[in-house]
Amino acid sequence: MVIKEKVISPALNRYRLATALIWVGVLAWVPFITLRTVGQKPSLFWFLPFHLIGVVGGSRLRAAARREIGIAPQKKRSLRTTGHILVFVGILVWVPHFYLKLVAHMLVEVSQFLPYHLTAVLSGVALLLVNFLVNRRKS
């Protein structure tokens, strides 16, 4: 009798861990948004480190695991490029916020910049998802 074993490589485990880290980073804002909704004013700096460690760390770990597993990078397509540009622009939205707050010592609210960040990042992620689905359908 031959028993078929499942062999899970450490790189595949790192890929899955990285995906979970990205989700933890994104979902780190749920308690923040909940507290703001009920009228409290929690500090942004209690949630930002978890968001950045999860999203940035998870994406870097996932990219390294993809290379180790041998998953070929996707072909450069306009949807993918535009998606990455939108995500990058969404991150760059915070540059003027931190300049105004830390260098110019002006009183600025996160809510003045957050809609632009979310619009660009979520639009970029949507384009990346569309690109993924189009590539999956073709193969």
pLDDT tens digits for range 82-122? 999 999 999 999 999 989 999 999 999 888 999 999 999 99
Instruction: Tell me the per-residue pLDDT of 14-59, one tens digit each, with 9 for 90 and over.
Output: 989 999 999 999 999 899 989 989 999 888 889 989 999 999 999 9
Confidence band, pLDDT 50/70/90 cuts, at residue 3? low
pTM over 0.85: no
State yes or no: pLDDT of 10 exceeds 90.
Answer: no
For the segment 67-85, what is each residue's pLDDT rounded down to a tens digit?
888 877 767 789 989 999 9
- Cα atoms in the 13 Å half-sphere on the side-chain side of 18: 17
DSSP string, the chain: ---PPP---HHHHHHHHHHHHHHHHHHTHHHHHHHHHTT----GGGTHHHHHIIIIIHHHHHHHHHHHHTPPPPPP-HHHHHHHHHHHHHHHTHHHHHIIIIIS-----GGGTHHHHHHHHHHHHHHHHHHHHHHHHH-
Where do the structural domains in the chain lie, given as residue ranges?
1-73, 74-139
Question: How far is the C-alpha of 70 from the C-alpha of 87, rounded, in Å?
Answer: 25
- pLDDT tens digit string along 58-70? 999 998 998 888 8
